[in-house]
Homo-oligomer: A and B are copies of this chain.
Amino acid sequence: MEPVNGAVASARDEVGDRRESADRDAPGREAGEVARSTFLNRADRANLLRYMAMMRSAEERAITLYRQGKIPGSFYDGAGQEAISVGSSYALGPRDRMCILHRDLGAHFVRGVTPDRYLANYMGRAGGVTGGRDGNLHFGDRELGCVGMVSMLPDMAPVATGMALSFKLRGEPRVAMTYFGDGSTANGQWHEALNFAGVHLLPVVFVLENNGFAYSTPNELEFAVDPVERAATYGFPGELIDGNDVEAVFEASRIAAARAREGGGPTLIECRTMRMHGHGAHDDMRYVPPEMFEEWSARDPIDRYGERLVAEHGFSADEVERIRAEVKAYVDECAQTALASPMPDPATATDGVFADDLTPLGDGKAPWSYWAERPDVERSAA
């Protein structure tokens, strides 16, 4: 995957100046306030843009495939929420673990899944991450340290908690991260996971994507008080941030991961955002007041970050444009690869209900150069 790799490689040169220890006391930011991380160099910033653009492009490509009838079943995307999965996963190390949800394609890309495997998965091809066994974003590449989500929400919260438990039991400085939406906070498993993680101060980072709705159900019908307030009652910090600001997400995640790694326990990060598409492709969003779209269009995480790269970080407008164009071209290539992948062999349909042996999780890609330079961590090749 050329464009991203190049950028990641160059990031290694600039790492020396920011190997500070994690800042555990950074104050929470108000939603809307622009964040600027001192832990990111130029290459990282290009990466953040690139991964967000990749998510956008891949999902747009997928929508086309869906409209062409190449994607069976339904289609779900995370348009408008790209900053969350990209910014948060970018703060993790290779041996950290993730359970990635249905709006979080960017995190799969950061971990190392390539768009062809995503597209192939949606099309039910043999080359998809699950080889046609499951669809949508119901996948996790175990070789990249991910456990694939199930539909039932937020079932991955207890699972991530269990991974964090194993890190704590073994004394490993590792972190598990998972996501859930605002609606999912009403479910009992959310509570069970957060309570359990709080009791044992487990190294887990919970990322709440509050996009205002659970399918069609607005926040008012999901909870009476913003769930970020509950974190304190589980015994750990809750931070409310602007989910459309990728550096704010990165910073909050970096701090949370560092705290977790040092034995400080979980963090709940609430990212305020807006789902700009329907819950699924069939959803006309008639339940959303039109002015909400206008408001949030102006806060598009990718456009906004591109502008900031130019205004504050010495990128030229051309450079930003080129990154986005390169990504788009790359995704188009990936779509061809995916389309060339065959359908799975029906004769295999009943294979693998049971495992014959153990298949341990592998390590994920961790492009953040802070990790890349750590002598104790082997940076994975892309």
Contact = CB atoms under 8 A, between A and B. Distances in A.
A96 B189 CA distance: 31
Given A187-B188, A188-B187, A188-B192, A233 B222 contact: no
A216 interface: no
Given A186-B192, A188-B192, A190-B191, A199 B227 contact: no
A234 interface: yes
Interface residues of A, number: 26
Interface string A169-205: 0000000000000000011111110011011010000
A198 B225 contact: yes
Nearest to A265: B224
Nearest to A228: B233
A42 to B, nearest CB: 41
A344 interface: no
Give the one of A192, A198, A227 with max B CB within 10 A.
A192
A56 B45 CA distance: 69
Contacts of A233: 225, 227, 229-230, 233
A223 interface: yes
A227 B230 CA distance: 10
23 contacts: A186-B195, A186-B196, A187-B188, A187-B192, A188-B188, A188-B189, A188-B190, A188-B191, A191-B191, A191-B192, A198-B223, A198-B224, A198-B225, A199-B222, A199-B223, A201-B224, A223-B235, A224-B235, A225-B232, A225-B233, A229-B232, A230-B233, A233-B233
